[in-house]
Amino acid sequence: MAHTVALAVDLGASGGRVVSGTFDGRMLELAELHRFENGPVAMAGQLVWDLPRLWAEVMAGLRLAAGRHGRAISTVGVDTWGVDFAFLAADGELLGNPVCYRDARTRGVLAAAERIVPRSEIFASTGLQFMEINSLYQLLALKQATSSILAAADRMMMIPDLFHWLLSGERSNERTNASTTQCYDPQRNDWAFPMLDRFGLPRRIFAPITEPGTTLGSLRSDVAAETGLDGVKVILPGTHDTASAVAAVPADEPPSSRPDWAYVSLGTWALVGAELDRPLVTPECLARNFTNEGGVGGTTRLLKNVCGLWLVQQCRAAWQRAGHGWTWDQLTALAAEAPPLVTLVDPNDPSLVAPADMPEAIRSLAGRVGQPVPESTGAVVRTALESVAAAVRHTLGELDSLLGRRVSRVHVVGGGVQNRLLCQMIADATDRPVIAGPVEATAIGNLLVQMAGAEGPVDLRAVRAIVRDSFVPERYEPRDAARWNDRLGR
């Protein structure tokens, strides 16, 4: 890869940022240029994403990038969360703000869908984990409601596709995000049209699949004029944030059907999985509710979604509303002082999806399942963190069974790497070394895939060699595995 500067727009469900990456031919250097808040907004009885404000924040970040790097900037690409989407009409008009996956419109839709197409056949067509938030059930909710927006839609665009359209004027459906929809067939690398036809969903809204590393074109003239970014190309990264994060895992083995390492992409969610060279669509995967999602370089991310730091994020928000301004470090310190392994709950329990008061929801759940009720702030946070670690342990055991081998190490990437207490808990709970880092894996993967794509097909091993040269991870060895084995054995 040549010396270059690229820009990553990294949008998450709770915040976004614009990050620049400067590559000198061997090492990548990052600079965060702009950070902003994100979150769904209640509007007319729905939870929606505030797209105009997000676009204004992205533009502000691009202007700052032009001021810092000027004409050195060559490319830009966007990654976001999965499953959510918006529609364009045939004339290119945007049909409303995208609805948030936490909106109530999909409640009960999954069960209704299985009465039309059996669960086993949906899985055989898509290889995807069953979650009511998936795009398929959002689309079926619109169909059930005889939505005028669905009737007028000409193109469905996932959230990063939407931003790439705003940047370049080009419509695309990038593979890694399309693969989160439960409308995509990973074995055929195309939309699962036979299944979609059975649900009565219109084929016209699904565009041909595009790969990470594809160049869409230059910035629209109005965007270039407003930001000062002239001649910048829009190149698709792995647009699903986990795909970008996994591309930045500093492993050196090629993808295989039986890898020796697993990953945890740790943020609001903890995505636990392995990178394969082909999809694994089997009855065992269906029984364990694992998912096959697209990765960079034609890989498959075999994984399961586990609730991650969402529990602590929402506890902190509740305490802030009550006037307690705990910092993240203070909460972690309080958790470290609390007695270990007293209370464990299922972090994916439906009562913890979007409660009004997360600390009370955790206490209530603990009482309902016969666990000691955590009273202090530190005990609540420790319960949340240890419950996530226990869920990672359980999911990793399932993954071992699917792969037919016990993976020897766990790569933890993403913002959750900064929680050293949780990283140690994962090492202890899984009884395996944890290699933690890079923290900025999503932005790094986004940037390096853009840079690689500018020169031809993306070489994933070359991308990871740059990650290893540029960033030093931290290693956590298991220290208390026996206590975890004893507790979870019970």
The bridge status of strand 291-294 relative to strand 434-436 is unpaired
Residues 219 and 298 in one domain: no
User: Residue 101 falls within a domain, yes or no?
Assistant: yes
CATH number at residue 317: 3.30.420.40
Residues 360 and 327 in one domain: yes
Q: Which of 207, 235, 263 is the last residue of a domain?
A: 235
The confidence score (pLDDT) of residue 189 equals 96
Residues 339 and 297 in one domain: yes
- Give me the helices (H) in 264-410, please: 283-288, 310-321, 328-337, 358-368, 377-403
The confidence score (pLDDT) of residue 490 equals 56
In sign, the C-alpha dihedral spanning 391, 133, 13, 367 is negative
Q: Which residues are catalytic?
A: 241
User: Residue 240 falls within a domain, yes or no?
Assistant: no
The confidence score (pLDDT) of residue 307 equals 94
Share of residues in the chain with pLDDT > 90 (%): 96
User: Residue 449 falls within a domain, yes or no?
Assistant: no
Q: How far is CA 106 from the centre of its chain?
A: 20
In sequence order, the 6+-apart residues with CB closer than 8 A to the CB of 319 are 325, 326, 359, 377
In sequence order, the 6+-apart residues with CB closer than 8 A to the CB of 3 are 23, 24, 25
In sequence order, the 6+-apart residues with CB closer than 8 A to the CB of 226 are 59, 63
Residues 286 and 141 in one domain: no
* Residue of 12, 160, 4 whose CA lies nearest to 72: 4
Domain boundaries, position 204: 4-235
Contact call for residues 209 and 175 (beta carbons, < 8 A): yes
Residues 158 and 214 in one domain: yes
Residues 415 and 477 in one domain: yes
Residues 137 and 218 in one domain: yes
Residues 124 and 229 in one domain: yes
User: Residue 78 falls within a domain, yes or no?
Assistant: yes
Residues 227 and 359 in one domain: no
Amino acid at 283: P
User: Residue 445 falls within a domain, yes or no?
Assistant: no
Could you read off the pLDDT of 359-379 as tens digits, one per residue? 999 999 999 999 999 999 999
Number of domains in the chain: 2
Distance in angstroms between the alpha carbons of the first and the last residue of the chain: 52
Could you read off the pLDDT of 376-419 as tens digits, one per residue? 999 999 999 999 999 999 999 999 999 999 999 999 999 999 99
The bridge status of strand 46-48 relative to strand 41-43 is antiparallel
The confidence score (pLDDT) of residue 481 equals 96
Helix (H) or strand (E) holding 293: strand 291-294
Residue 295: strand, helix, or coil: coil
Q: What is the chain's length? A: 490
Look-up of token digits 């269906």: 286
The confidence score (pLDDT) of residue 162 equals 98
Distance CA 172, CA 184 (A): 15
> Per-residue DSSP letters for 111-165?
HHHHHHS-HHHHHHHH-----TTSHHHHHHHHHHTT-HHHHH-SEEEEHHHHHHH
Q: Is the pLDDT of residue 3 over 90?
A: no
The confidence score (pLDDT) of residue 354 equals 85
Distance CA 162, CA 152 (A): 17
Classify residue 307 as left (phi > 0), alpha (psi -120 to 50) or beta.
beta
User: Residue 453 falls within a domain, yes or no?
Assistant: no
Which pTM does this prediction carry? Answer: 0.93
Confidence of residue 452 (pLDDT cuts 50, 70, 90): very high
Residues 267 and 323 in one domain: yes
Confidence of residue 14 (pLDDT cuts 50, 70, 90): confident
Residue 130 has a CB neighbour count (10 Å cut-off) of 18
| Exposure class string for 417-436: b at 16+ Cβ within 10 A, else e | bbbebbbbbbbbbbebebbb
What number of CA atoms fall less than 13 Å from residue 428's CA on the CB side? 22
Residues 335 and 284 in one domain: yes
Q: Which of 210, 235, 260 is the last residue of a domain?
A: 235
Residues 268 and 398 in one domain: yes
Tokens of 23: 């590559």
> Per-residue DSSP letters for 14-82?
SEEEEEEEEE-SS-EEEEEEEEEE---EEETTEEE--HHHHHHHHHHHHHHHHHHHGGGEEEEEEEB-S
User: Residue 323 falls within a domain, yes or no?
Assistant: yes
Distance CA 214, CA 22 (A): 20
Contact call for residues 291 and 133 (beta carbons, < 8 A): no
User: Residue 454 falls within a domain, yes or no?
Assistant: no
Tokens of 213: 């590393």
Q: 67: exposed, middle or buried (C-beta count within 10 Å: 0-12, 13-18, 19+)?
A: exposed
Q: Which of 186, 202, 235 is the last residue of a domain?
A: 235
Could you read off the pLDDT of 304-343 as tens digits, one per residue? 989 999 999 999 999 999 999 999 999 999 999 999 999 9
